[in-house]
Structure 1
Amino acid sequence: MLFFAVVMLIIGLIHFYLWKRLVRDPLRPGPARRVGTVVAVVLCVLVPVTLGGVRAGYVKWLSWPGYLWIAVMFYLLVTLLALEIPRLLALRLWARGPRTTEDDGMGGSRPAGSAIGEAAVSGGTGSLRGGSAPATEGALTGGAAGHGTEPPLSGATTGHGSEPARSDATASHQDDPALSGATTGHGNEPALSGTTTGHGRDSFFVGDSAAGAGDADATAEGTGKGRVVTADGGPASGTDPAPAGREAAGVEGGADASRSPGIDRRLLLARGTAIFAGLTAASVTGYGVKTATGAPQIDRVQLPIAKLPRSMDGTRLAVVSDIHIGPLTGVDHAQRITRVINSVNADLVCVVGDLVDGSVAELGRFAAPLGGIESRHGAFFVTGNHEYYSGAEEWIEEVARLGIRPLRNERVEINGLDLAGVNDLTGEQQGDGPDFARALGDRDTTRPVVLMAHQPVAAKEAAPYKVDLQVSGHTHGGQMVPFNMLVKLQQPVVSGFGKVDGVPVYVTNGAGFWGPPVRVGAPPQVTVIELRMA
């Protein structure tokens, strides 16, 4: 019960992390985020249902979607974790900047900070920047006074008359609005400004600086908010009392004052990260499916064996493991593997465990093509851990019926070579564990011996018996990189040749897959070991 609770906790934490990076961070609150949250919850539930229900023989129709999601989930997790450090650096060095684009006031966009068409002005008590305002709405300035019905945008300008002035430290009379900061004007036209005084019959805008209003984000540095009044102090009719909803400017020296609809850099970074992780996980999983469901590769290796009789020099052993016939494989899987084995013209075939993932009644027809395996001295079989999950006794009988001889803690002598086999270590839980003394204890030590054992770690118990070579499987070569690094914690050899307590061990990747129909960095294989005289 505790193990189940730990597994569920881990699954939940993984999906919470994926939800945060793929849903919460890149999506604003709204329907899209709600849909993403629902999908994350459903996928979280799918994982334990697949691992438990499908293996128990229920909801078999969930096998493909469930196991594929487990593979995608794994590579999403790996990719996002690998991106965490670059992401943190980008947040610190880049994403704190302004928005990526701004509205230009005419339905278009431009880079943030552009001065074209902006009401970016300075003078008096403060300066405003980064935004834009239509010419009909006027200027927001640092220190200004103006009168008139047309909005002067000015910088250090003095104007008197019925027309707004546009100059720097210049008095002028023109028909167009003036671009300036710190404006003083007297006339018949209204002025929008910060720190404004006016004398006349028309309304004017009063305030030290403009603060953000409406949906846009803007902050101001000044003494107060602007307002529009008449000469007698009352509100002006027909005038905009506040710059609410305008696409107004940001404030120099304050926080990010952009009131434009541009994309925030943090949001852009989150979306880029989510897209990259999604494409990477989908691509790697697709490649892995193609590899796992294809024909096994042939892995050829020559190994010297002491005391090997001359008559056995060059003997070829076809070693295959972890075929994992199951509900996802069908009959074609065993047919492909049988064709590859027969293509190498082996002298001996060693099937070193994990043949099936289900009962004989369920999968017997899928295993039938293995009865067509051909070799000079026969085919031999030892149990793996999955046989003990699937009814070991009935499968041992079925394998024998197919013409493959089980070696149950026993050995056979073949032209001066001993071939021994032991039950898998998992069999101990069912009273059918390995017995090395029985398989190796009373043999003629002048002959070399090759031991078939499903798990590489079994070599530790075989070491006292001077085994010349152990052939194993179980690890799948890691099946899905970088999972192979975790396998190394449990098995002394993950793939290929190694030595365990002085025993030479060769581990084949296996010809099938377990769980997700995916293999990345560890292609399925049939290993051909050619024995040579030392």
Structure 2
Amino acid sequence: MPEAESAGGGTDAGAGPRRGSLRRRLGGGVVFLVLTLLFVLPWSTLFVFGVHWPFPVFLAGTVLFLGGLVSFPFLMAAGHGRRRADRAARVADSTLGIVWVLFTWSVLGDLVHLVLIALGADGGVAGSRLVAGAVAVVATTLLCWGHYEAMRVPRVRRQEIRIPRLGAGLDGTRVVVLADTHYGPIDRARWSARVTEAVNALDADIVVHAGDIADGTAEQRREQSAPLGTIRARSAKVYVTGNHEYYSEAQGWLDRMTELGWEPLHNRHLTVERGGDRLVVAGVDDVTAEHSGLAGHSADLAGALAGTDADDPVLLVAHQPKYVDRAAAAGIDLQISGHTHGGQIWPFRYLVRVDQPVVSGLSRHGDRTQLYTSRGTGFWGPPFRVFAPSEITLLTLRAE
């Protein structure tokens, strides 16, 4: 009997690792299939589907796409794995952006071509080449424009928000929001300095950084983050962690922001007072924090609000918009979030919407709670923004 139990236990113990290994293989297989499709469809649209290019053109296109497909996983691993090789990351990220845009417009071009074929107006080889040329021109134009949009200093997006519980003394409070700066493989120290100048020109009462400050450790991105130390605010400069901090060094970034003169709202709050009225400014860790393994890191709204007066209006900073359900249940007046990038590269916004309740802008949740979701100040990965411009946000809070 003991032997039978031991044998059974051995089987059970081995089942878990085997299931985990199977899940990893399946996940890897899905990633490989998606990646292959991303490269193969544009290649087919540009060089295969009825175009009949001269062989040297076909060969050059095939070598280009095949080289991208084969090298991409290795570049991603080198750039975003343990080595964090910035040069590899820059090439991999740019490749991802380029192939995503080509894939999107290849799908649209092929659908148009199929409609023309069904109508008997496809134009044969000339029509196929016209579709391929149109896809190439549109994609190239969008990539050039999208790169410019990603690298420029964001435009200021202005929004007035009425908060019924806000006292008259705080009417007109100016809150400037940064989010998703994503300092990373591309050195954007000069960009960071120009963003700082734009923020200081807005004469803010409160400046908020809503997380995803960087990809990499505080030491790696020290020069890029340094200009944040020169940002000015009359009452407070506050910061919360985003999910990307938990991919590298969340506590290091909390310490770095303290060093730069910001108040990290690590499940805590501060109170802004003016004209005898008060506004609670609270912040929580990102929702991914509890799975990070870091002691004391989790999204703890009760802890953030501990000791506050229930009659005071609350501005909550939480990186991901989907935290708004908990905020609404707690009667928060305004939540400020980022994370979505507004989709960053169209039509990715529709995939983001599957995970988040809002992609950008002001929305209402429940009877009291409003949510402002920033499209982000920087970009993640691919240095492109297509139909999803970055922003520095100026929120003006109004009393009723």
TM-score range relative to shorter protein: 0.7 to 0.9
Q: Does 1:385 align with 2:251?
A: no
Q: What is the one-letter code of the residue matched to 2:151?
A: T
Of 82, 94, 113 in structure 2, the residue corresponding to residue 87 of structure 1 is 113
Q: Among residues 25, 47, 50, which one is paired with 1:23 in the alignment?
A: 47
Q: Tell me which residue corresponds to 1:463.
A: 328
What is the letter of the counterpart of residue 289 of structure 2? G
- In 2, the alpha carbon distance for the partners of 1:352 and 1:468 equals 17
C-alpha distance in 1 between matches for 2:299 and 2:376: 21
Q: Which residue of 1 aligns with 2:34?
A: 10
Within 5 Å, which residues of 2 pair with 1:124-135?
A: none
Is contact 1:459–1:501 with CA below 8 Å preserved after alignment?
A: no
The C-alpha deviation readout for 1:147-202, integer Å capped at 9, x for no partner, is: xxxxxxxxxxxxxxxxxxxxxxxxxxxxxxxxxxxxxxxxxxxxxxxxxxxxxxxx
Q: CA deviation at 1:500?
A: 3.0
Local SS of the residue matching 2:372: strand
Answer yes or no: is 1:514 the counterpart of 2:380.
Answer: yes
1:20 maps to a residue whose letter is S
1:73 shift after superposition: 1.4
Q: Secondary structure at 2:40's aligned position in 1?
A: helix
Counterpart position of 2:16: none
The C-alpha deviation readout for 1:353-396, integer Å capped at 9, x for no partner, is 00010112211121111100001012110000011112101111
Structure 2 length as normaliser, TM-score?
0.87
Q: Percent identity?
A: 34
Partner amino acid for 1:486? L
Quote the residue 1:33 is aligned against: 58
Q: Partner of 1:398 in structure 2?
A: 256
- CA-CA distance at 1:8 after TM superposition: 1.6
Partners of 2:211 and 2:240 within 8 A in 1: yes
Distance 2:355 2:42 in 1: 28
Q: Which residue of 2 aligns with 1:231?
A: none
Return 5+ residue gaps in structure 2 as ranges. Answer: 1-23
Q: Report the equivalent of 1:355.
A: 213
Aligned to 2:3: none
- The match for 1:68 is 94
The letter of the residue matching 1:88 is: L
| AA partner of residue 10 (structure 1) | V
User: Given the alignment, which residue of 299, 318, 329 partners 1:434?
Assistant: 299
Aligned to 1:127: none
| Distance (Å, rounded) in 2 between the aligned partners of 1:515 and 1:477 | 14
Q: Please say if residues 163 and 333 of structure 2, whose CA atoms lie closer than 8 Å, have aligned partners that are also in contact.
A: yes
What letter is aligned with 1:83?
Answer: G
Shift of 1:310: 1.9
1:474: which partner in 2? 339
Are 2:155 and 1:293 equivalent residues in the alignment? no
Unpaired segments of 5 or more residues in structure 1?
Answer: 97-264
Cα distance in 2 for partners of 1:474, 1:421 equals 15
Equivalent in 356, 359, 374 of residue 232 of structure 2: 374
Which residue in 2 is equivalent to 1:344?
A: 202
Deviation at 1:440, TM superposition (A): 2.3
DSSP 3-state at the match of 2:64: helix
Correspondences of 1:34-433 after superposition (within 5 Å) = 34-56=59-81, 57-94=83-120, 265-415=123-273, 416-431=278-293, 432-433=297-298
CA distance in 2, matches of 1:92, 1:510: 43
User: Highest CA radius of gyration, 1 or 2?
Assistant: 1
* C-alpha distance in structure 2 between counterparts of 1:266 and 1:67, whole Å: 36
Offset from partner CA, 1:447-490 (integer Å, 9 cap, x none): 11100100011111122221010011111111112211111111
SS at match of 1:326: coil
AA at the equivalent of 1:422: V
1:14: Cα distance to partner? Answer: 2.2
Does the CA contact (< 8 Å) of 1:75 and 1:281 recur in 2? yes
Which amino acid is the alignment partner of residue 335 of structure 1? A
SS in 1 for 2:386: coil
Where 1:460 maps in the other structure, the secondary structure is: helix
Contact residue 240 and residue 285 of structure 2 kept, 8 A: yes
Cα deviation for residue 58 of structure 1 reads 4.5
Q: Please list the CA deviations of residues 416-439 of structure 1 after superposition, one character each: whole Å capped at 9, or x if unmatched.
A: 111100000010112411011111
Q: Tell me how far apart the structure 2 counterparts of residues 79 and 387 of structure 1 sit (CA, whole Å).
A: 33
Deviation of 1:3 (Å) = 2.5
Deviates more, 1:411-420 or 1:438-447: 438-447
Deviation at 1:27, TM superposition (A): 3.2
CA distance in 2, matches of 1:5, 1:332: 41
Flag the 1:58–1:504 CA change in 2: closer, same or farther, 3 A. Answer: closer
3-state secondary structure, aligned to 1:295: coil
C-alpha separation in 2, matches of 1:28 and 1:287: 28
Deviation at 1:49, TM superposition (A): 3.1
**Residue of structure 1 equivalent to 2:18:** none
Q: Deviations over 1:214-270 (max 9, x none)?
A: xxxxxxxxxxxxxxxxxxxxxxxxxxxxxxxxxxxxxxxxxxxxxxxxxxx522222
Q: Higher helix fraction: Structure 1 or Structure 2? A: 2
- Work out the CA distance in 2 between the residues paired with 1:59 and 1:413: 42
Give the distance between the partners of 2:76 and 2:365, measured in 1 at CA: 33
Q: Does 1:528 align with 2:386?
A: no
Quote the Cα distance in structure 2 between the aligned partners of 1:28 and 1:314.
63
Q: 2: distance between equivalents of 1:45 and 1:332?
A: 34
Aligned mates of 1:435, 1:398 — CA distance in 2:
22
Q: Identify the structure with bigger relative contact order (alpha carbons < 8 Å, sequence gap 6+).
A: 2
**Pair 501,526 (structure 1): closer, same or farther in 2 beyond 3 Å:** same
Deviation, 1:28, is: 4.7
Change (3 A) 1:58 1:474: closer
Aligned residues: 366
SS in structure 2 at match of 1:498: strand
* Paired amino acid for 1:31: P
2:86–2:186 contact (8 Å) kept in structure 1: no
Opposite residue 73 of structure 1, the aligned amino acid is V
State how far apart, in whole Å, the 1-side matches of 2:72 and 2:376 are: 25
- Out of 296, 300, 313, the residue aligned to residue 448 of structure 1 is 313
